[in-house]
Amino acid sequence: MATSVISAINHAQRLAQTDANGIGSVLGLALYNDAFQTMTRDLINRGIDAAQTQEAYRNITTTNPNTYLFPSDMYALKTIEINWNDQEAQNYLQAKPMDVANIQNKSFSYLRDNQTQEEPLFDNRGDWFELFPVPTATNDQGIRIFYYLTPTEALDVGTAIGYPQTLDYRALSAKIAAMYYKTQSDDKMAMIYETEYENRISKIIKILAPPSQQPIAPKTLAITGWDY
């Protein structure tokens, strides 16, 4: 059975030692969605792909400047890949981010014409981006965008909590309790549950983060005898 938003709210009530008169369905849903957005941002800021990733494509054009819109449901960008010639998966090259305000000894106009296609660049302009160099030919689906999806907020307390929040929905409860205490001007208790939230998030990250340990190198077994 799926865990729903009401479960996170009920646990927040227990943490805050209150009931529906303190954290009711209306306030609880608002605090839940706030906590949900915060938890999603925290996972993304720590590089956790489990914050729900998606990919989309754009057709390469030859317009100058060479600009494209990001997907409308993009929350944060992960990376952009370029394929100048076809749609073969192995022919996409990762484009490197750059900032036109921080180009050393060159202008962005120069890069439009002279940046090598083997090392494409892009400049993030908010909800759109510019590609360098300007393509010399069109190519359908030549731009592949990997991004984090905008979180879908719950419409009611019966909404099922999704992954990865289901790994520990009580982290959301702790955040809800912290925000509730802030509305009561109780900074001490708010800090206690904010710390609880951070502790639970750190444990989730340990589960979701890619392993960083290197393989153990085999060593020759050394056996020495007793000295008599």
Q: Are residues 83 and 31 in the same domain?
A: no
User: Does the residue 217 lie in any domain?
Assistant: no
pLDDT category at 174 given cuts 50, 70, 90 is very high
Q: Are residues 180 and 136 in the same domain?
A: no
User: Does the residue 223 lie in any domain?
Assistant: no
Q: Are residues 80 and 137 in the same domain?
A: yes
> Could you tell me the residue range of the domain that residue 118 belongs to?
57-147
What pLDDT is recorded for position 225? Answer: 52
DSSP structure string for the chain:
---BHHHHHHHHHHHTT--TTTS-HHHHHHHHHHHHHHHHHHHHHTT-GGG-EEEEEEEE---SS-EEEPPTTEEEEEEEEE-SS---GGG-EEEEE--GGG-SS--HHHHHHHS-TTS-EEEE-SSEEEEESPPSS-EEEEEEEEEEEPP---SSTTSBP-TTGGG-HHHHHHHHHHHHHHHTT-HHHHHHHHHHHHHHHHHHHHHHSPP-PPPPPP------PPP-
Q: What is the mean pLDDT of residues 115-131?
A: 95
77-96 per-position pLDDT tens digit? 999 999 999 999 999 999 99
126-173 per-position pLDDT tens digit? 999 999 999 999 999 999 999 999 989 999 999 999 988 999 999 999
User: Does the residue 214 lie in any domain?
Assistant: no
Among 127, 147, 167, identify where a domain stops: 147
pLDDT category at 47 given cuts 50, 70, 90 is confident
Q: Are residues 27 and 65 in the same domain?
A: no
What pLDDT is recorded for position 222? Answer: 47
pLDDT at 228 over 50: no
On average, the pLDDT of the chain sits at 90
Among 147, 174, 198, identify where a domain stops: 147
User: Does the residue 216 lie in any domain?
Assistant: no
